[in-house]
């Protein structure tokens, strides 16, 4: 994708006092939730994991809302405008199967082991070296990704409302800092539930009015077929191995690179997501958290894809050389052209909510990992719980300030979605291969974890910066290069783990209870609470139902 993250210079929204009033009310409510949540924060567990007390429907909505950030709104709409229906791959292959796998297979290990973070699981399964390396890598990645959301918010606010970028960055950073520092993870999660509905309230009118503008789905299909060809409205057209297509990827790299390696790597090891499930009130609720989130995830694609397709009809030259509008302008352009005041205020609030949700998810996961996995484990051991609670609030402020700095790093990349996919291939994929081998192979030695992380990260970076950027092998697009880097990182990490395991000592089998598939710990035997055992709450039914539904959604777009 070659579009720029900058929105068109002349793109301004006709906002008035009503729109700004709606926006102000939203910010007041956000802070109010933060102060209300403060009353429940008495220990560090309350601050970092909501005391493991939240119901599944809350954690499930927060789980998917935490992902509704910059790439999901602007990036995926831009992908729809550029590549058409192929954007569905990021949802139906790149997300749903991994979310189901997390709920059914991995959450019993995460929740049953009572870990407070994803890196802490590696400490129990492998050793301190794997734990420290994964903690540092995750903390670094979390700040980078939070910066992406903050930067995306700033450029949108500057383009649409006329605020200077630095003002937008400081204002948004302040509000995220305020409600997380005051109310901890509970504040972030309850705000994410609110943000989920605000985002829907923003996207639904854009989608409906956009379709009406182009004559409904039939009018949209006819226009796109005439201007872009029939393949633009199919998900798999031209994806045979060796066949050229705009995405620059074939079915194998889509299924393996996006669907398995990147998708599973992100959803199963990204603590910004997993943290929401760890805050659930019991094991049953923890398992259902990503499964509940999978159902809205299946349908959200239509709310970002259709605006992108509509923009491609209304502005045939969008993203092309000489055009005033870039692909990332798709949703802001429709907001400018279609929405009346009042509804416009809700849409602007929805965009800001999306970026704040993405930033808050990464900041809240950063403060947990830095406090519990780095500071408490290696710097200040044995301090009181009150000390770690205070330090958690302090490091939250530092994390927000660091995110402001990394927001300007994001500005040096030509596309925020490609940038994030690159980060995932560097950091999440190597962690995923270490988790998956460690969870399913008892022989994986204690030392294999750290070497798998190092090898996977290094291989992915070498493939991207030297082989792709250096022109050693021609890969048509950044997206295609990210898929290949993810596969390379996964294979390299796996091969090194196996090789190191063959020459180093495994962890004693008695210490693997609840950490490796086929073993059990007391926490994994937890019976569901009354009501959680109802047939419609069965994790297996929810999980397989989501997979089947996602597969069925492909049928209208496969031919």
CATH number of the domain located at residue range(s) 17-557 in this protein: 1.20.1730.10
What pLDDT, on a 0 to 100 scale, did the predictor assign at position 108?
A: 86
Strand partners, 353: none
Q: Kindly report the CA angle at 44 between 144 and 172, in degrees rounded to 5? A: 35
Residue 104 half-sphere exposure toward CB, CA atoms < 13 A? 19
Q: Mind listing the pLDDT tens digit for each residue in 139-162? A: 988 888 888 878 777 777 776 677
Among 275, 386, 234, 305, smallest CA distance to 78 is for: 305
Contact 478, 87 (CB under 8 A): no
Q: Which of 148-157, 186-195, 400-409 has the lowest mean pLDDT?
A: 148-157
What is the chain's mean pLDDT, rounded?
84
User: What is the reported pLDDT for 10?
Assistant: 57
Calculate what percentage of the chain has a pLDDT beyond 90: 30
pLDDT at 449: 94
Query: Angle of helix 283-314 relative to helix 330-338, nearest 10 degrees?
Result: 70
Q: Are the CB atoms for 521 and 531 separated by under 8 Å?
A: no
Phi, psi of 526 (to 5 degrees): -60, 130
Encode pLDDT of 409-427 as tens digits: 776 665 666 777 788 888 8
Q: Span 367-374, mean pLDDT?
A: 91
| pLDDT, average across residues 235-244 | 78
Instruction: Give the span between the Cα atoms of 184 and 50, in whole angstroms.
Output: 8
Per-residue pLDDT tens digits for 56-87: 899 999 888 888 766 678 888 888 998 899 99
Q: Residue 96 and residue 194: Cα distance in Å, rounded?
A: 22
Instruction: Report how far residue 509's alpha carbon sits from residue 369's, in angstroms, rounded to the nearest whole number.
Output: 27
- CA nearest neighbour of 464 among 450, 484, 446: 484
Structure tokens at 47: 């601050």
More confident residue, 31 or 3: 31
CA distance 89 to 328: 19
pTM: 0.83
Confidence of residue 5 (pLDDT cuts 50, 70, 90): very low
pLDDT value at 4 more than 60: no
C-alpha 178: how far from its chain's center? 22
List the single range of 252-266, 315-329, 334-348 with lowest mean pLDDT.
Answer: 315-329
């Amino acid at each position: 994708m070659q579009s720029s993250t900058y929105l068109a210079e002349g793109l301004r929204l006709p906002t008035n006092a009503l729109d700004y009033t709606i926006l102000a009310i939203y910010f007041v409510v956000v802070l109010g939730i933060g102060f209300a949540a403060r009353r429940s924060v008495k220990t560090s567990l309350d601050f970092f994991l909501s005391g493991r007390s939240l119901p599944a429907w809350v954690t499930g909505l927060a789980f998917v809302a935490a992902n509704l950030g910059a790439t999901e709104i602007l990036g995926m709409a831009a992908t729809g405008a550029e590549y058409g229906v192929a954007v569905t791959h990021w949802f139906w292959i790149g997300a749903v199967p991994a979310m189901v796998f997390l709920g059914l297979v991995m959450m019993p290990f995460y929740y049953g082991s009572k870990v407070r973070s994803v890196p802490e699981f590696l400490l129990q399964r492998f050793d301190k070296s794997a734990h420290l390396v994964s903690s540092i890598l995750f903390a670094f990645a979390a700040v980078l990704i939070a910066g992406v959301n903050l930067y995306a918010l700033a450029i949108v606010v500057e383009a649409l409302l006329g605020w200077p970028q630095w003002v937008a960055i400081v204002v948004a950073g302040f509000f995220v800092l305020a409600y997380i520092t005051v109310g901890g993870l509970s504040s972030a999660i309850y705000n994410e539930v609110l943000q989920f509905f605000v985002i829907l309230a923003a996207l639904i009118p854009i989608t409906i009015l956009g379709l009406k503008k182009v004559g409904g789905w039939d009018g949209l299909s006819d226009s796109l077929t005439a201007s872009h060809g029939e393949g633009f409205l199919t998900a798999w057209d031209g994806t045979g191995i060796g066949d050229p297509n705009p995405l620059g990827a074939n079915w194998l790299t889509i299924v393996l690179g996006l669907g398995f390696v990147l998708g599973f790597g992100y959803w199963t090891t990204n603590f910004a997501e997993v943290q929401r499930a760890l805050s659930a009130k019991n094991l049953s609720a923890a398992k259902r958290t990503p499964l509940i989130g999978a159902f809205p995830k299946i349908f959200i694609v239509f709310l970002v894809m259709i605006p992108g397709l509509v923009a491609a009809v209304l502005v045939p030259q969008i993203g092309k050389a000489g055009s005033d509008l870039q692909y990332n302008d798709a949703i802001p352009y429709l907001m400018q052209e279609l929405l009346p005041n009042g509804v416009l205020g809700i849409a602007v609030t929805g965009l800001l909510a999306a970026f704040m949700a993405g930033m808050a998810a990464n900041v809240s996961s950063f403060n947990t990992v830095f406090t519990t996995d780095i500071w408490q484990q290696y710097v200040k051991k044995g301090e009181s719980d009150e000390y770690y609670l205070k330090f958690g609030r302090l490091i939250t402020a530092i994390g927000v300030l660091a995110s402001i700095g990394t927001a300007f790093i994001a500005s040096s990349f030509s596309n925020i979605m490609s940038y994030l996919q690159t980060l995932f291939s560097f950091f999440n994929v190597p962690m995923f291969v270490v988790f998956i081998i460690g969870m399913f192979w008892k022989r994986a030695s204690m030392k294999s974890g750290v070497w798998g992380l190092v090898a996977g990260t290094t291989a992915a970076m070498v493939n991207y910066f030297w082989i792709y950027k250096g022109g050693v092998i021609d890969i048509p697009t950044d997206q295609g290069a990210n898929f290949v880097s993810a596969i390379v990182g996964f294979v390299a990490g796996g091969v090194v783990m196996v090789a190191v395991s063959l020459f180093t000592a495994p962890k004693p089998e008695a210490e693997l209870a609840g950490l490796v598939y086929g073993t059990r710990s007391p926490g994994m035997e937890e019976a569901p609470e009354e009501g959680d055992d109802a047939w419609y709450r069965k994790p297996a039914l929810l999980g397989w139902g989501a997979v089947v539904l996602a597969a069925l959604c492909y049928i209208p777009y496969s031919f």
